[in-house]
Chains A and B, each alone.
Chain A
Amino acid sequence: MAFKGINFVPRGTKIPFISMRNIAFILSGIAMIASIALFSTKGLNYGIDFIGGTSIEVRHKAGPADIADVRGKVGALGFGDVQVQQFNDPRDVLVRIELQSGDEEANQKALDKIKVTLGDAYEFRNTEVIGPTVSGELTQAGIIAVITAIIVVLIYIWLRFEWQFSLGAVVALVHDIVLTIGIFSLLQLEFTLSIIAALLTIVGYSLNDTVVVYDRVRENLRKFKKMPLNELLDVSINETLSRTILTSVTTLIALVSLFVFGGEVIRGFVFAMIWGVLVGTYSSIFIASPVLLLVGVKRDWSGLGGAKFKEPSGTV
């Protein structure tokens, strides 16, 4: 039991994060503008949750599937935009067809025809048919959820800290979400309902990180009443750096394992979260904290904030 463990982050780091803020703001600014530009030009590769349509994963029962054959057969049915691609295993094929015009039943009829056409040679492993009504509702619910999450968080941080902190946290959040949407647009990864779930998890995670730094900032504001704010922010970030890195690493270990071994179905979802952890960790250091410097914070914290929880009497 004598093993003490390894110090992954050296003690007493004094990295001048805050003085790097301009570089960070420029980098993030460029990345955000690029993301928005990508989003408005290339757009997102929306999954059928949002645009409706049919997605079928089939497995050829006897050996590797003949993609060209499937493409030819399904393409000949005249369902408009048809995507046929290799998926996961050589036997597996993913077929996506666009939302059929007409009533809700039009998509079901298209599915029936595909089943007849591909016949018994294929096993239908995953079938999703989303009609126009539901896809519209899901899009709306997704947007509402993300916006609500941001507002709720804004209010919570405001109540627990001060409006400046709330602003900083939300700027960081919007940054994370915009960059995530940007990478999905850049790589044209499928954007589904579960990516919205991932976005909300990123909101939670990024915030978690930001709050930890802010908590320390608030504490130091009480402790070092005369220290210039930029120095104080640097001290706070450096003090929490070890925790920030250790938590990010454990979370990433878990996520990378999911990405590699968790199967094709959730790969996009996990990718969004890995990206979110990286971006979220970056933003809580380089965005959320410098924002405090820009807007300024109240310096007299005596008897406020964290006093709701019991504090030990002795301070260092």
Chain B
Amino acid sequence: MLHFSRWKTFIVWGFALLGVFCAAPNLIPEKDLAKYPQFVQNLRLNLGLDLRGGSHLLLQMDKDLLIEKQIKILRGNVRTALRGKREGSARTGAIRYRDLSAKKDRVEFKPSDPADLEKAYQAARTLIQPLPSTSFGTTPGNNVDVEKTADGRIVVKPSEPAITAKISSSIDSAIEVVRRRVDALGTTEPSIQRQGEDRILLQVPGFDDPDKLKAVVKQAAVLSFHLVVRPANAEEAADGLTEPGTTIYPSKDQYSSHYILEDEPLITGADLANARQEISPQTSRPVVSFRLNSRGAVRFGDVTAANVGRPFAIVLDGEVISAPTIQEAITGGSGQISGNFTVSTADDLAILLRSGSLEAPLTILEERTVDASLGADSIAAGKLAAIIGLVGVVAFILLAYGTFGLYANIALLINISMIIGALSLLQATLTLPGIAGIVLTMGMAVDANVLIFERIREELRAGKTAISAIESGYSRALSTILDANITTFLAAIILFWLGSGPVSGFAVTLSIGIITSVFTAFVLTRWLVAWWLRLQSSKTIDMPI
């Protein structure tokens, strides 16, 4: 146990020095950091939001709305399928139906003639398509299920895997959109992760305006321009009924509370090339000016030329924000959206339009926002507690074990460096509970040494020589040390698994601390003790027995 071959010594100290080396860059003051090479700059603790300030938002996509939209599209497809085939000017195979309705999770209709049930069923079945196979090569099934009911209706229902796939792709695209939006705010290193089926975890460090962040992230920002049929009267607005091909929209402008608009959009958000906030030279009010891509510009030019004198509505997330009248053909491909904007809301809208739209709005399930000044206070408090705790532990161990305590303390200091080094190397996030984890480890790390030293003491009391007492002290304490640390380690792993944010930060430092403290206590101090034994001529141990 006390013999270290040269290569073993090399490995032991290699690890210890690697830890110290990886921890050292954390001592460089912020202002001098730029002078050092990039890899040194990267070896710094990655502070959690609770220490550096910032916002943590757990967002959920509105699944119901997403499904609702899918069902509406499906209803359109069913209608088309029942219309039959166009042959010249006539249609063949059309099936007459009634009660075509979009329910929460399905589309239903009834053939007008019960004899058409089978025909209608076959027509609806033409909508069935296999879903693309997954990356594992399994086929997830079809997009829709079609059924006949006992009372002569046909039910068309999106399949479970189709809904799952739709939510999954919507979340994937939402992550991209959210990333563009957050980047547009000028933040650094936001972390955007998918969580579970329909959630996004957004962590933005160091951004001091959580309200703006939330406003920009949540909104679906689906934009479209529609020709206005006419302002809706109170009755129409109340019952929402209007002629086919048109829809009633609520309005935010000062002229009418609702408008009846044509369904077919003139242009949509996808046609935008750019958008920014400006102050209108005419009204001195904030507006969002936009530029269309070439396809959109051509279309918009054509429609505006054909409809001079008619109003068109700018619809954002199902609400009319303004309904200007077309004065002349807009051929340049650029224009302005005026509305009831402040500079800040116009700026937000410009960011949203630039970054693209979400398929459904996001809801904030959880928000944790910490101001940078509180984070700085926490760091200062954590540092102070750590230093005082360390001094206390070091002094106590020195008192308890004399010279051997010195070795245990050297091991403790290297242990702390190794924890910090490992955290810096892995870029694990250090949170305030994480600092508590480090301080706790200081207390517990000496446990392994205490176990060994107590063993050595016992062996000495039993009359063994120094060397054999140390030998058996180490070897007999090993099983206890492993048992004790494995159990704590298991608890730490469960913590990590439970972990959200700060708690998992604590689990990470605790786990790393357990590994490094077993290494430093069992291997490093053993090396130190062996080295001491070789230097020592008297072979007696300075330890109270």
* Chain A residues near B (Cβ < 8 Å): 1-8, 11-12, 57, 103-105, 108, 111-112, 115, 123-131, 133-134, 138, 141-142, 144-145, 148-149, 152-153, 156-157, 160, 193-194, 196-197, 200-201, 203-205, 207-209, 211-212, 215-216, 219, 239-240, 242-243, 246-247, 249-255, 257-258, 260-263, 265-266, 269-270, 273, 306, 308-312, 314, 316
Contacts and interface: CB of A to CB of B under 8 A. Distances in A.
Contacts of A130: 365-367
Interface class of chain A by DSSP: helix
Point out which of A138, A249, A263, A316 has the most chain B C-beta atoms below 10 A from its C-beta: A263
A3 B497 contact: no
Given A5-B400, A193-B503, A197-B495, A211 B436 contact: no
B498 A108 contact: no
B262 to A, nearest CB: 31
B433 A197 contact: yes
Contact of A263 (B381, B405, B494): B381
A145 B498 contact: yes
B500 to A, nearest CB: 7
A4 B366 contact: no
4 closest residue pairs by CB, A with B: A251-B443, A263-B381, A204-B491, A5-B402
A1 B433 contact: no
Given A145-B494, A208-B488, 17 more contacts: A5-B405, A128-B369, A142-B498, A153-B487, A197-B498, A200-B492, A201-B491, A201-B506, A208-B447, A208-B487, A211-B480, A242-B454, A249-B396, A250-B447, A254-B392, A258-B389, A265-B432
Contacts of B241: none
Nearest to A129: B367
Contacts of A128: 367-369
A136 B509 CA distance: 27
Given A131-B364, A309-B478, A312-B472, A258 B439 contact: yes
Given A108-B364, A250-B443, A261-B388, A201 B495 contact: yes
Contacts of A124: 369, 371
Contacts of B371: 123-126
B440 interface: yes
Interface string B380-392: 0110111011101
B243 interface: no
B370 interface: yes
Interface stretch (B18-26, B178-186, B418-426, B456-464): B456-464
Nearest to B381: A263
Interface of B: 50, 58, 60, 210-211, 214, 363-371, 373-374, 377-378, 381-382, 384-386, 388-390, 392-393, 396-405, 432-433, 435-436, 439-440, 442-444, 446-447, 450-451, 454, 457-459, 461-462, 464, 468, 471-472, 475-476, 478-480, 482-492, 494-495, 497-498, 500, 502-503, 506-507, 510, 542-545
Interface class of chain B by DSSP: helix
B369 A255 contact: no
Contact of A104 (B364, B433, B498, B506): B364
14 contacts: A127-B368, A127-B370, A131-B366, A134-B58, A145-B497, A200-B498, A201-B440, A212-B483, A215-B480, A247-B450, A254-B443, A258-B436, A261-B381, A311-B476
B440 A251 contact: yes
Given A254-B440, A257-B389, A133 B60 contact: yes
B211 A123 contact: no
B342 to A, nearest CB: 14
Point out which of A260, A265, A270 has the most chain B C-beta atoms below 10 A from its C-beta: A265
Contact of A11 (B388, B398, B495, B545): B545
A313 to B, nearest CB: 9
A243 B450 contact: yes
Given A4-B544, A208-B484, A208-B485, A108 B388 contact: no
A243 B483 CA distance: 15
Point out which of B364, B399, B542 has the most chain A C-beta atoms below 10 A from its C-beta: B364
Contacts of A273: 436, 440
Contacts of A152: 490, 494
A247 to B, nearest CB: 4
A123 B400 CA distance: 48
Point out which of B214, B384, B433 has the most chain A C-beta atoms below 10 A from its C-beta: B433
Point out which of A133, A257, A310 has the most chain B C-beta atoms below 10 A from its C-beta: A257
A262 B385 contact: yes
A11 B460 CA distance: 12
A3 B403 contact: yes
A306 B462 contact: no
A111 B211 CA distance: 10
Given A215-B480, A254-B440, A141 B491 contact: no
A156 B484 CA distance: 11
A137 to B, nearest CB: 9
Given A149-B491, A207-B487, A263 B454 contact: no
Nearest to B487: A207
A1 B210 CA distance: 58
Contacts of A308: 479
Given A196-B498, A242-B454, A254-B392, A104 B211 contact: no
Given A105-B364, A145-B497, A257-B388, A265 B507 contact: no
Contact of A246 (B373, B392, B400): B400
Contacts of B483: 160, 211-212, 215
A129 B366 contact: yes
Nearest to A138: B500
Nearest to A135: B366
